[in-house]
């Protein structure tokens, strides 16, 4: 996304003339709409829209973005998220010992595939510190147990706030985030779960899938909430398996899915393409 663009996400009760009023507001200020997409939930009567436009006056574009948010709220009764295309989010990566999503995510940031900056790594194990040092990313080892969970999570939150993090991504971080952690953090958290949720939530999903004899396995990227593996789903994918595949085969095939699904979810979030409502998401892809 080029720096001069303004990106807006709108959501609220549907009403006649929303598209015309929004586009008219931009036109009256000399803006040029580059892309617009909308969706209506027919069951809930909720309207969603994503717009990208180039403001006529780049020098006052930030002020115009704030004015647009006020217009959406006061004149339209809509919730609005407005961002500038040149703004880059700071991202923190959480990991335990499993490293496939860890490496894949870092390399995608380094290649410029993801519109943000990976500023720190937090882990409950020291194992991947040498790898993080080779990548040149600060690595914070914060051991966590039942006895010290509150203190460890408080230390994690401090690192995240001190680093100015806007988004946390869990690259197979094998710990359950507490409600207190999420409340103190006040930032979105994206998790990759190694099953096609809501099937096989919780631990050892590949073993659960093998025992059940499924013919499809999947991976799910979702926003983390206090309820384990029940947050709004962003992206999913599946691959076929058969009676000929053992657990190791399921893990190998599933890890390929995990990397791709996780990366796509992070990409959509950083490009301001996701709206959350009723524990679901609208993704403008």
- For residue 225, pLDDT over 70 is answered with yes
Mapped to the 3 state alphabet, what secondary structure does 18-66 carry?
HHHHHHHHHHHCCCEEEEEEEEEECCCCEEEEEEEEECCCHHHHHHHHH
pLDDT in tens, 19-73: 999 999 999 999 999 999 999 999 999 999 999 999 999 889 999 999 999 999 9
- For residue 228, pLDDT over 90 is answered with no
Stretch 239-244: mean pLDDT: 94
C-alpha span between 232 and 96 (Å, rounded): 23
pLDDT in tens, 125-162: 999 999 999 999 999 999 999 999 999 999 999 999 99
C-alpha span between 77 and 213 (Å, rounded): 49
- For residue 3, pLDDT over 80 is answered with no
* Residues annotated as part of the active site: 229
**Confidence class for position 2, pLDDT limits 50, 70, 90:** low
C-alpha span between 35 and 44 (Å, rounded): 25
User: Can you list the domains of the chain with their CATH numbers?
Assistant: 6-84 (3.30.70.260), 89-283 (3.40.50.170)
């Amino acid at each position: 996304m080029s720096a001069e663009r303004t990106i807006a996400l709108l959501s609220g009760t549907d009403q006649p003339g929303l598209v015309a009023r929004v586009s008219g507001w931009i036109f009256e200020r000399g803006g040029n709409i580059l892309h617009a997409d909308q969706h209506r939930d027919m069951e809930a009567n909720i309207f969603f829209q994503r717009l990208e436009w180039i403001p006529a006056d780049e020098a006052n574009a930030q002020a115009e973005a704030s004015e647009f948010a006020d217009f959406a709220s006061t004149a339209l009764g809509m919730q609005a998220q407005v961002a500038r295309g040149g703004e880059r989010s700071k991202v923190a990566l959480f990991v335990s010992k499993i490293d496939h999503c860890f490496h894949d995510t870092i390399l995608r940031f380094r290649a410029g595939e993801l519109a943000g900056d990976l500023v720190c790594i937090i882990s409950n194990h020291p194992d991947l510190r040498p790898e993080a040092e080779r990548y040149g990313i600060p690595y914070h080892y914060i051991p966590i147990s039942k006895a010290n969970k509150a203190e460890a999570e408080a230390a994690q939150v401090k690192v995240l706030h001190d680093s100015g993090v806007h988004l946390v991504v869990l690259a197979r971080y094998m710990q359950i985030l507490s409600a207190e952690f999420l409340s103190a953090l006040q930032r979105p958290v994206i998790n990759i779960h190694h099953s096609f949720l809501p099937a096989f939530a919780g631990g050892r999903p590949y073993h659960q899938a093998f025992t059940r004899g499924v013919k499809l396995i999947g991976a799910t990227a979702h926003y983390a909430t206090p309820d384990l593996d029940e947050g709004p789903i962003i992206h999913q994918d599946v691959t076929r398996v058969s009676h000929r595949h053992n657990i190791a085969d399921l893990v190998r095939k599933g890890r390929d899915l995990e990397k791709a699904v996780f990366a796509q979810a992070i990409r959509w979030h950083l490009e301001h393409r996701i709206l959350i409502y009723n524990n679901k998401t609208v993704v403008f892809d």
